[in-house]
Amino acid sequence: MLLNPLNSHPYELLLRKPHGIISIQNIGGWGPHPELRRPTANTGLSRRIPGAIIRPIMSTHASLKVNGQTHVVDVDPNCPLLYVLRDNLALNNPRFGCGLGQCGACTVIVDNRAVRSCLLPVSRAIGKEIVTLEGLGTPGSPHPVQAAFIEEQTFQCGYCLNGWVMSAKAFLDKNPNPSDADVRKAFESLVCRCGSHARIFSAVHRAAADMKRSA
Range 143-202, binding ligand FES (CB under 6 A): 155-160, 192-194, 196
Nearest distance from C-beta of residue 206 to ligand FES, angstroms:
17
Given the complex with ligand FES, which of 31 and 101 has the nearer CB atom?
A: 101
Shortest distance, position 212 Cβ to ligand FES, whole Å: 26
Q: Which residues of 84-109 are buried (b: 16+ CB within 10 A; e: fewer)?
A: bbbbbbebebbbbbebebebbbbbbb
Closer to ligand FES at the Cβ: 24 or 98?
98
* Contact positions with ligand FES (CB under 6 A) in 104-123: 104-106, 116, 118
Residues 1-40 as x/- pattern, contact with ligand FES by CB under 6 A: ----------------------------------------
Binding residue (CB under 6 A) for ligand FES from 30, 96, 149, 187: 96
Question: Which stretch, 31-39, 40-48, 94-102, 206-214, contacts ligand FES (CB under 6 A)?
Answer: 94-102
Q: Does 56 bind ligand FES (CB under 6 A)?
A: no
Q: How many residues bind ligand FES, per CB under 6 A?
A: 22
Kindly state whether residue 101 participates in binding ligand FES, applying the rule CB under 6 A. Answer: yes
Task: Return the sign of the alpha-carbon dihedral for residues 138, 144, 145, 146.
Answer: positive
Kindly list the residues in this chain that would bind ligand FES in the complex (CB under 6 A): 96-99, 101-106, 116, 118, 155-160, 192-194, 196
